[in-house]
Structure 1
Amino acid sequence: MAKIDVSISSLVNGSGKSELLFRVNVNRDIRLRVKSGIFVYPNRFKNGVIVLPRAEDGKGTRKEMLDASTTLSNLTVSIINFCETNKSITKDELVVYIDKYHNPEKYIQKDDKKEPLCEMFQRYVDGWLDTGVIGLGRKKHYDVVIRELTRFFIINGIDRCPVEDFNKERILKFRDFLRTEYTLVEKYPGLYVDMNNRNKPSKERSQNTIAEKLLLLQAFMVELESNDIIPVSPFRKIGKEKEAIMKQQYDEPVFLTKAEFNMLLTKECLESLQRVKDLFIVQCCFGCRVGDFRRFTFDNIGIEEGIPYIHYLPQKTHKDGLIRTEIKTPIIRIAYDIIMKYKGELSNNALLPYYPDGNGETGYNYQIKKLLEYCEINRKVAMFNTTLKLNEYKSIYEVASSKIARKTHVDLMNKVQVDKYAAGLHAKNSSAVNRYTNMGVRERFILMCAAFGDEEYRVDSELGIKR
């Protein structure tokens, strides 16, 4: 395979930047030295890579250097692919290729100018955000797919692929690329240089993850079809295979049973595990996503008829533009006692002493695993192994995370609620039932106390217990 060494010119232009130089070793007989067309500040190029400043430093902003680094990564991979298909390449041909990469409009006939698919995709997504069709959270998911699609095109030598050339076969190849991309990281390191280790593909993506990404791409193609940009979405031509590649499958839900939750409540813990025990119990009582849980302060507490409750806009669905109604969850006595235990001890009006993100030893998920293991909550649960195509059975503490708190809450609540269609007055899923009734904080509080086996209580305006 061709190899590229990068160095920097000693000449500095009027902006204080120098041009990067390429030494392209095509094979034993062909070694070419060419200008890259990429300019960087000399103090930002070390050991063959562009070093990003931690912040704006006045000598080459972070954005400038990030753009240059991304261009360097994409261009070097593109040149290597070009050399692999043109073993007898000359210096003049390589110079033209690099210039064409930087200035594609010079080489495209005006009557045949086509916008690359990824650029069009990004333009549509940005427009959807600006017009409120999607929220910021959903846009981030689209942006990730666009970056993955860009890497797919570069690695396959079809960079700047127009939408008209994106057909059924390329969708299926992109699906395989998503599944096995982790095997390409070492082969094409330049494409991943700006990604942190957490975001670099490190294992085979699951079928559910791939299906979610393909659904986003399909939504874009449907939009192009409805706007007459393309005659028909290529997804419509996949046929029977479509169901297989777009299907999402889930393991059986993993949650703590009522007996296991009570075991956790009553178990005396090591001092090192007391904080995670308190946090996990409260999250089980609230049933919220961990992203929302981490943000709670005393400003999120309201009081209605003497019943304290947490109110918040769920971060995930609110940012995706799917919901604008606040969630109101009563605070049962178990959670109240834990919250009041830490009141006054924390800065920034925080509700609880939250753990940082991540799965390291100081992370919340890691600590949850240790807590359940210590409490001997080790019931075996089935987890599907996508490689072996069969279920593996693991102790629940091995697979535990903050998600198990949400699932535990939902399961406990589900077991105490009467089926609202049980009277038989309306058909299953009838919207009329929801129009006729509204469960307030008081009704939810009664149900939650029943679900968790807790006693009802009331507070005053200062959150003190009423006697």
Structure 2
Amino acid sequence: MTTVKAFIRTGKKDKEVNVRFRLSDGRNVQLFHKSEIMVLPNIWDAKNEQYKAKSVIKLEERTQFNASINERKNLVLSLYGGNKELTSEKLEELIDKHLHPEKYNITHEKESLCEMFQRYVNGWLDTGVIGAGRKKHYDVIIRELTRFFIINGIDGCSVEDFNKDTILKFREFLRTEYKLVDKYPGLYVDMNSRNRPSKERSQNTIAEKLLLLQAFMVELESNDIIPVSPFRKIGKEKEAIMKQQYDEPIFLTKAEFNAVLTKDCPESLQRVKDLFIVQCCFGCRVGDFRRFTFDNIGIEEGIPYIHYLPQKTHKDGLIRTEIKTPIIRIAYDIIMKYKGELSNSALLPYYPDGNGETGYNYQIKKLLEYCEISRKVAMFSTALGTNEYKSIYEVASSKLARKTHVDLMNKVQVNKYAAGLHAKNSGAVDRYTNMGIKERFILMCAAFGCEEYKVNPELTIER
């Protein structure tokens, strides 16, 4: 947690000294600011960081002094914004620019909510709190907030003016924004047709966006930029507007996976088939999958495995536990097929981002359609208020690979509470044991119907 403490440094008691401020963010960040606020040491309350309660000071002067201390703390926190690369010297410069803009030939304007939000998000990315993919989601909601403020005539809305009612109005704006595109075309001229709102957003999409906004407000609250997050004032309505609802899980059955695996595909679909099969074997998110190189391969007891830090779940900068997934024979054969063919150290010939015809998700749909994986699955329609049934290839994406992996693995694992020695969800079971690479490899081979194998340090199979 980020904190700012006010203190003084002097050996004398009868001469005024500057009040100093120290910002701390964990063990590695200590920033200092020497302010122009002066105080006599004998009337300074070091514990409460204000005038001593019994000091002979007029009430008006005491109130003003204590308020100036709190204002300076908030300014330091605001300018820091989670940027762990900031130095004390740079902080002093930023404070001086804020207090004396005339010296720098700049016009002093109060920072808007969107400007502050963007500054925090940039700081989170620079310090590793979030990854580039997560930042894109934050950037999108900042742009949506900007459009909302402009349309409602409150462009430049400050953090202090953003309240419970504004949140509820913003939620409604997110739901029905598609109706405003033709009315305010200038706000959407730079957006491509895929990103331009064209239909009502689902409750899940709205809830995800509000959760990002709430995270920012909680950060401001914890940094004392605002006294309390406006989300805390929504009350019972909060559960309804933040609730996410999920359809029935969609994954390939083992028979469907094997149908894709054994299907002879034309050359145009062979690459996406190879990638999709390997991602099903790894079960990783597509953002992690795209980054894999041969540097992500390790070997333990002759068993090759992929190891990586998942970008999404270690975004808080504290979790550094690697995921280690054995490479079963299906995935091994595909990886080795491309070894030496790629110009860089990439593990596989990945598709670019996006959902266009060259994008991975689009290609997965075409692959499953070619393989005749057309089982109908239920998808809830917000507009109709009921389920629609679509062929699985119509709704397929890279997430299907992850869900397929989880389902296949779930069906071969013994319930760890089945022995009856511990209650369900007991933490003791996980403390007593640990599943290593070898055990996971055996389970994965069973789940995918593969034979076990071993490799030497050069990744060549040992006969």
Q: Same fold (TM over 0.5)?
A: yes
- Among residues 187, 210, 220, which one is paired with 1:214 in the alignment? 210
Counterpart check, 1:179 vs 2:175:
yes
2:459 aligned partner: 463
Could you tell me whether the CA contact under 8 Å between 2:131 and 2:311 is conserved in 1?
Answer: no
Amino acid paired to 1:298: F
Q: Which runs of 5+ in 1 are unaligned?
A: 1-102, 107-113
Name the residue aligned to 2:234: 238
Q: Which one of 260, 264, 270 corresponds to residue 266 of structure 2?
A: 270
Find the counterpart in structure 2 of residue 401 from structure 1.
397
Q: Which of 165, 169, 189 in structure 2 is aligned with 1:169?
A: 165
Aligned to 1:11: none
- What do the CA deviations read for 1:50-86 (whole angstroms, capped 9, x no partner)? xxxxxxxxxxxxxxxxxxxxxxxxxxxxxxxxxxxxx
- For residues 302-451 of structure 1, the aligned pairs below 5 Å read 302-319=298-315, 321=317, 323-451=319-447
Kindly provide the amino acid, as one letter, of the partner of residue 373 in structure 2.
Answer: I
In structure 2, how many angstroms separate the alpha carbons of the residues matched to 1:155 and 1:299?
Answer: 49
Tell me if the contact between 1:385 and 1:392 (Cα under 8 Å) persists in the aligned partners: yes
Distance 1:349 1:208, change over 3 A: same
Q: 1:223 to 1:297 in 2, by over 3 A?
A: closer
2:142 paired residue number: 146
Task: Please say if 1:205 is aligned against 2:201.
Answer: yes
Instruction: Check whether the contact 1:135–1:321 (CA below 8 A) recurs between aligned residues.
Output: no
The runs of 4+ residues in structure 1 deviating greater than 6 Å are none
Give the SS at the match of 2:462.
coil
Deviation string, structure 1 residues 373-392 (Cα, Å, up to 9, x no partner): 22221111000011101000
Structure 1 pair 105–358 and aligned structure 2 pair: CA distance change class (3 A): closer
Query: SS where residue 317 of structure 1 aligns?
Result: coil
Deviation per CA, 1:361-410: give whole Å up to 9, x if none: 22222221122122221111000011101000111111111111110000
- The answer to whether residue 104 in structure 2 is matched with residue 119 in structure 1 is no
Q: Which residue of 2 aligns with 1:284?
A: 280
Please state how far the C-alpha of 1:438 moved relative to its aligned partner: 1.7
Which SS does the other structure have where 1:249 is aligned? coil
Q: Distance in 2 between matches of 1:200 and 1:430?
A: 47
Kindly indicate whether the alpha-carbon contact (under 8 Å) linking 1:136 and 1:319 is maintained by their aligned counterparts in 2: no
TM-superposed deviation, 1:460: 1.3
Amino acid at match of 1:239: G
The CA distance in 2 between the partners of 1:238 and 1:274, in whole Å, is 52
Query: What SS is found at the alignment partner of 1:420?
Result: coil
- Report the alpha carbon displacement of residue 278 of structure 1 after superposing the two structures with TM: 1.6
For 2:348, give the aligned amino acid. Answer: L
For 1:56, the equivalent position in structure 2 comes to: none
Q: Are 2:222 and 1:260 aligned?
A: no
Alpha-carbon RMSD across the aligned residues, in angstroms, is 2.5
How many correspondences in the alignment?
358
Aligned to 1:163, the other structure's residue is in SS state coil
Within a 5 Å distance, the mapping from 1:27-106 to structure 2 comes to: 105=108
AA partner of residue 363 (structure 1)? G
Pair 164,463 (structure 1): closer, same or farther in 2 beyond 3 Å: closer
Matched residue type, 2:441: F
Q: 1:190-241 CA deviation, whole Å, 9 max, x = no partner?
A: 3334444444333322211211221222233344445555454332332332
Q: Please report how far the alpha carbon of residue 134 of structure 1 lies from its aligned counterpart in structure 2 after TM superposition.
A: 5.0
| Residue 415 of structure 1: how far off its partner (Å) | 0.8
TM-score, L = length of structure 1: 0.70
Distance 2:437 2:250 in 1: 28
- Partners of 1:211 and 1:416 lie apart in 2 by 34
**2-structure distance, mates of 1:240, 1:150:** 27
Amino acid at match of 1:212: E
Shift of 1:422: 2.1
Following superposition of structure 1 onto structure 2, how do residues 127-146 of structure 1 map, counting pairs within 5 Å?
134=130, 137-146=133-142
Q: Which moved more, 1:162-171 or 1:456-465?
A: 162-171
SS at structure 1 position matched to 2:304: strand
Q: Which TM-score applies when normalising by structure 2?
A: 0.71
State yes or no: 1:248 paired with 2:244. yes
| Distance in 2, Cα, partners of 1:221 & 1:459 | 51
Partners of 2:267 and 2:131 in 1: how far apart? Answer: 42
Contact 1:276 1:368 in 2 (8 A): yes
